[in-house]
Amino acid sequence: MKDEHTIIKDVYAAKTDTDRADELIRRYLPFIKAEASRQTGRVCTEQDDEYSIAMMAFYEAILGYEKERGAFKGYASMLIRSRIIDYHRKETRHEGHASLYEERGDGDRTLADELCDDRDHIGERLGLEATQQEIEELSKVLSRAGVTFSDVADNCPRQERTMAACKKAMACGVKDKALLDEVERTGRLPLKRLSLASGVERKTLERHRRYILAMLLIHTNGYEIIRGHLRHMAVEKGGTAV
């Protein structure tokens, strides 16, 4: 009972604080691993997808938990179970397909090892480092505005229509150099200007303020790789960026 009380307190603290969430998850790794193993029917290692999924489900449990509705562990266990089942259902689609990384009979070599590999590993490595630098820089700018990527993810529109409205506003923002500069300098979003320019309701913009802020920041100077990543999609669809 006492144990349950402390969990509840920790869980509620972790809902709003990602660091505390990480700490709580770390403390419950054995529980998570055990639940994942129970579901998969074999010992689950850290290399397994099920393990990652179980951890994510545990985090979902932290966010979704309401103490009025029962014990936390039971809820977490249930979520882990259903997420792993979901995953397995999805995976059955790939049945009958050989995995590139499956070990074949002759030794430890996998199919991927034997296939011709024309990728530029060194180039990729360098590219990755450059990307990391950009992301780190963006993260710093965002944190000055009190925003993390997790916040942006939470703030991201889920409905297509809302997303379209946000994109419309962002397109207006990107064209307006002065506005972009202001955003970069102050870390604040001039909602009124944006709303007037794009015709999108201010309320909608307000609701997704952090997401729009992050996206506009990406379109300021210095984030070519990330922008390239986004533009790639836009080009495929034949539209304009963002």
Partner 1 sequence: MRYMVMETHLAYAVVLGQDGSVLKVANRRYQVGEKVNDIIPMKVTGSADASEAVNRTDVREIKMSGRGRALKLMAVSAAAVLMFGAWGIYDFGFATYGSVYMTINPEVRIDMSRSDRIVDIDGINEDGETLVSGYNYAGKSLSQVIEELGVKAASMGYLERGGEIGLRIESESDRWTAEQQDELIYGAAERLSDSLKVTIEINGTEDTVVAPPETEPVTTAPETSAPEPETWVIEIPEVTPEPVETAAETTPAPVQTPASTQAPAPTKPPAPAPTQTQSPVPQPVPHQGDSGYGNSNYGDSAYGTSGHGSLAYGDSGYDGSGYGESGYDD
Residues that bind partner 1 (CB under 8 A): 15-18, 21-22, 25-26, 46-47, 49, 52-53, 55-56, 58-60, 62-64, 83, 87, 128-129, 131-132, 134-136, 138-139, 148-156, 163, 167, 170, 206-207, 211, 214-215, 226, 229-230, 232-233, 236, 242
**Minimum distance from residue 140 beta carbon to partner 1 (Å):** 12
Which residue, 156 or 180, has its beta carbon nearer to partner 1?
156
Burial label, 148 (beta-carbon count in 10 A; 0-12, 13-18, 19+): middle
In whole angstroms, how close is the CB of 197 to partner 1 at the nearest point? 19
Question: Which residues touch 234 (CB under 8 Å, ≥6 apart)?
Answer: 240, 241, 242
| Total length of the chain | 242
Find the shortest distance in angstroms from Cβ 106 to partner 1: 27
Query: What single letter denotes the amino acid at residue 155?
Result: N
CB nearer to partner 1: pick between 109 and 229: 229
Q: What is the dihedral of CA 39, 43, 47, 50, to 10 degrees?
A: 0
Comparison of 111 and 128: residue with beta carbon closer to partner 1: 128
What is the nearest approach in angstroms of partner 1 to the Cβ of residue 133?
Answer: 8
**Nearest Cα to 242, choosing from 145, 170, 193?**
170
d(CA 197, CA 183): 15
